[in-house]
Amino acid sequence: MQIKIAAVCFMVGILLIPRIGFTADSKSDYPDPTTIVKDSNITNKIKVRLNADRHLGRFKSIKVDADNNGVVWLSGTTHLLSEEEKAIEIARGTEGVVIVKSNIQIKSRHPISE
């Protein structure tokens, strides 16, 4: 009789382990759908505003990422410091943006000859 109870408990335990593991990981692996919509909404707004600015050239080499807390990361390259500053200004002025973090690299168009 004890062997049957032990076998049943063992089988129930084996069957519950994958369920418990899936439940523990489900929140971190699968973001809330509203988070994804908000991220892409902020990202698209910034990209549209960057591409619409014609005073300092196109910002096609700048990548924009946003999280659900309104934090925006800018990366890529520009040719002038003023272009980086303008991209940051445009991102900061976008609705829903709380913080802008820049990792934009400034690349000289003409390397200095030695």
Of the candidates 23, 107, 106, 37, the residue with the CA atom closest to the CA atom of residue 66? 37
Structure confidence by residue, pLDDT tens digits, 45-88? 988 888 887 665 566 788 999 988 889 999 998 888 888 899 99
Give the pTM: 0.61
Q: Is the pLDDT of residue 103 over 90?
A: yes
47 versus 11: which is more confidently predicted? 47
When the candidates are 1.10.3470, 3.30.420, 3.30.310, 3.30.1340, the CATH number that belongs to 33-106 is 3.30.1340
3-state secondary structure of 94: coil
3-state secondary structure of 34: helix
- Residue keyed to tokens 């272009």: 83
At 93, the pLDDT band (50, 70, 90 cuts) reads: very high
Of the ranges 59-68, 85-94, 104-113, which is most confident?
85-94
- For the segment 12-32, the average pLDDT, to the nearest whole number, is 57
Domain residue extents for the chain:
1-30, 33-106
Q: What is the mean pLDDT of the chain?
A: 77
C-alpha torsion sign, points 85, 86, 87, 91: positive
DSSP 8-state assignment for residue 114: -
DSSP 8-state assignment for residue 104: E
Q: Is the pLDDT of residue 29 over 80?
A: no
